[in-house]
Amino acid sequence: MPATLAPPTTAIARPLPTAEPTRPAHVAVRALAKSYRTGSDPVPVLRGVDFAVAPGEMVSIVGQSGSGKSTLLHLMGLLDSPDIGEVTLRGERIDDLPERARDRLRNHVFGYVFQFYHLLPELDVLENVLAPLMIRDGFFAYLRNRKAYREQAEAIVARVGLSHRVRHKPKQLSGGEMQRTAIARALVTKPEVLLADEPTGNLDANTGAGILELLSELNRDDGLSIVFVTHDASLAARGHRTVKLVDGRVEEAD
Ligand code: ADP
Ligand code: MG
């Protein structure tokens, strides 16, 4: 009998499993709590936040001003320490590591992008992008690798669409170009996780959409895990998933 006439096997008839196997978290926070002490009483900002980012995932964080979005991003990226709870990278706790190890992770694993770019005004685009390598390696090690680093930085500047601006200083750039420079600077150390705090907060809608398009490309093409904060619902929807902070806790928005 020809194979094409064979009855369907039970294997074909069996329904596919509906649930995806759980992916291990890339970065996660568990039971995270943080208060700030301004007057005599501590003011709680995060009150038990649980939140995980899968490898290659792009997650948006939304929430009212003052809801703790920046605080959460800072804790995830080891820029600050939680009062309670933990931060893990591929399942290993990282928030309680010695300062040197935390420094290493800040320089090698995380990339940071902020609303106000924080570029060095005296340096041009290429020099701003090179700065993290100089800081990470120290001046003499940097000098030894200078040629390779320049090529690396030039490639990243091209990647963010600024090859025609390498010798421009920040004040000669538009807001979108400054943010592209800041993104290139965050990428030059080849991070695994990009943390972006309102990267479009100071940009008009079109320019902001262009920045989100760039982040989406980096996520899709390079597998970069991305967590970004935004006030804009249409930009938040560019993530695979949106997390909302309400009263110091996470409410999954979709
Ligand atoms: P968001 O980014 O969602 O606007 P933040 O995480 O910046 O919120 O801040 C949450 C709350 O914590 C705010 O009420 C803010 O005033 C307060 N806060 C943030 N950083 C500090 C700090 N370093 N010292 C005291 N209070 C702070
Ligand atoms: Mg903020």
Reading the chain (254 residues) residue by residue, the pLDDT tens digits are 444 444 444 344 444 444 455 667 999 999 999 999 888 888 999 999 999 999 999 999 999 999 999 999 999 999 999 999 999 999 999 999 999 999 999 999 999 999 999 999 999 999 999 999 998 888 899 899 999 999 999 999 999 999 999 999 999 999 999 999 999 999 999 999 999 999 999 999 999 999 999 999 999 999 999 999 998 999 999 999 999 999 899 986 55
Ligand 1 centre distance from Cα of residue 70 (Å): 7
Dihedral in degrees, nearest 10, Cα atoms 35, 119, 129, 183: 60
What are the beta bridge partners of residue 89?
Answer: 27, 92
Minimum CA distance residue for ligand 1 atom 23:
36
Decide: 180 and 126 in contact? Cβ < 8 Å. no
Q: Give the predicted TM-score (pTM) of the model.
A: 0.89
φ and ψ of 59, to 5 deg? -120, 135
Strands 84-89 and 193-197: unpaired
Give the pocket of ligand 1 (CB within 6 Å).
36, 38, 45, 63, 65-71
Sheet of 42-53: strand order equals 42-53, 27-37, 84-89, 92-93
Ligand 1 centre distance from Cα of residue 35 (Å): 9
Rounded to an integer, what is the distance from CA 240 to the centroid of its chain? 13
Which tokens go with 43?
A: 């003011």
Decide: 189 and 108 in contact? Cβ < 8 Å. yes
- Calpha distance 181→194 (Å, rounded): 14
